[in-house]
């Protein structure tokens, strides 16, 4: 829910989070994040000397009951949790908003990759469920176009817009207006929407082939249901598996995947693999999945 005046253009999601932290986070403040979660943002919050606390994530997304009472802000990826791929349930969305109201806290919703959807309608973003002006919505063109553009945006509650604009001005003025101008034309002329439609078809084929490869591994790996984004995640049924060892064996076979345990902070994490298909040709996926299978069952 936004009009043009509500949108602050940033150099990607990362700068959006930096501006939010400049405006809202003081040294020593407790900030809650998903665990496992997106380390680039956790590290950014640490440079603002926040005390970053990991909150567990289950099949419904962040466990809202485990949010620390003293947190000033919670950073979330509800549409496609990074890295597990879980979509946050409606019950959890409501619980997070309730928690924020009760604790006078801010919710930062990072919607980094939901342009690519492969099934049904998305659940409502927290930002449009929010009646209380607590949600800061962050978007980026890093996944829908390319990360080197460094183009993203933030839609804050009205009470924060002026402070975020000022924080941006004192750090990078308006940013790269040449790129932003080109991107604005690209959007206005409908090319971005057309690109996302075309690319969704390409990614769908890759994704289906990854999922087909995982069918043969069903006794070992359980696919985490997800309908968006550029990676799928699967968890080991046997929780004693060392996913880092599997990742290393896959790499030795020329297949690069990520272990869920590398994205954890302090919470125990069920081992699993995040399998990205953003940068591989569909024709190469079946062979890569066979090699991954050999790494999973050495
Ligand atoms: C959770 C998450 N948020 C945001 C981004 C993109 O960040 P940026 O817009 O700064 O490139 C990524 C990229 O991998 C991501 O995984």
Going by C-alpha positions, the residue among 47, 110, 54, 50 that lies closest to residue 80 is 110
- Dist CA 198 CA 111 (whole Å): 20
In this structure, are residues 168 and 23 in contact, taking their beta carbons and an 8 Å threshold?
Answer: no
Q: Which two tokens stand for residue 102?
A: 């009760």
Q: Among 38, 148, 183, 229, say which to mutate for ligand 1: greatest number of ligand atoms within 8 Å of CB.
A: 38
Beta strands per DSSP E along the chain? 8-10, 30-35, 51-58, 61-62, 73-76, 106-110, 135-140, 152-155, 221-223, 231-236, 258-259, 272-276
In this structure, are residues 258 and 149 in contact, taking their beta carbons and an 8 Å threshold?
Answer: no
Determine the pLDDT at residue 114: 84
- Dist CA 262 CA 233 (whole Å): 14
271-298, pLDDT tens digit by residue? 999 999 999 999 999 999 999 999 999 8
138-163, pLDDT tens digit by residue? 999 999 999 999 999 999 999 999 99
- N-term to C-term CA, the chain: 50
Buried b vs exposed e over 236-247: b needs ≥16 C-beta within 10 Å?
beeeebebeebb
Determine the pLDDT at residue 120: 75
In this structure, are residues 179 and 151 in contact, taking their beta carbons and an 8 Å threshold?
Answer: yes
Determine the pLDDT at residue 160: 97
Its pTM stands at 0.95
Q: Which residue has the tokens 């932003």?
A: 180
Task: List pocket residues of ligand 1, CB cut-off 6 Å.
Answer: 12-14, 38, 77, 82, 110, 112, 140, 142, 147, 152
Atom of ligand 1 nearest to the CA of 14: 10
In this structure, are residues 234 and 221 in contact, taking their beta carbons and an 8 Å threshold?
Answer: yes
Determine the pLDDT at residue 121: 78
């Amino acid at each position: 829910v936004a009009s043009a005046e509500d949108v602050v253009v940033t150099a990607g999601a990362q700068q959006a989070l930096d501006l939010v932290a400049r405006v809202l986070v003081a040294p020593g403040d407790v900030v809650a994040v998903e665990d496992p979660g997106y380390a680039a943002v956790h590290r950014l919050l640490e440079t603002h000397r926040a005390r970053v606390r990991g909150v567990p994530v289950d099949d419904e997304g962040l466990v809202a009951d485990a949010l620390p009472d003293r947190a000033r802000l919670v950073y979330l990826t509800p549409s496609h949790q990074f890295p597990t791929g879980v979509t946050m349930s409606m019950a959890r969305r409501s619980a997070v908003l309730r928690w924020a109201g009760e604790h006078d806290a801010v919710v930062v919703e990072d919607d980094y990759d939901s342009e690519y959807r492969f099934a049904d309608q998305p659940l409502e973003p927290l930002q449009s469920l929010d009646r209380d002006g607590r949600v800061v919505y962050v978007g980026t063109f890093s996944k829908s176009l390319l990360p080197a553009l460094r183009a993203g945006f933030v839609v804050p509650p009205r009470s924060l817009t002026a402070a975020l604009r000022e924080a941006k001005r004192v750090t990078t003025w308006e940013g790269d207006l040449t790129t932003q101008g080109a991107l604005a034309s690209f959007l206005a002329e409908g090319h971005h929407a057309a690109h996302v439609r075309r690319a969704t078809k390409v990614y769908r084929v890759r994704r289906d082939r990854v999922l087909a490869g995982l069918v043969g591994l069903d006794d070992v790996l359980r696919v985490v249901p997800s309908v968006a984004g550029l990676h799928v995640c699967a968890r080991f049924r046997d929780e004693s598996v060392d996913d880092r060892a599997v990742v290393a064996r896959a790499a030795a076979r020329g297949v690069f995947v990520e272990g869920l345990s590398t994205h954890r902070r302090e919470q125990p994490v069920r081992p699993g693999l995040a399998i990205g298909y953003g940068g591989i040709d569909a024709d190469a996926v079946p062979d890569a999945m066979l090699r991954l299978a050999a790494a999973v069952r050495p």
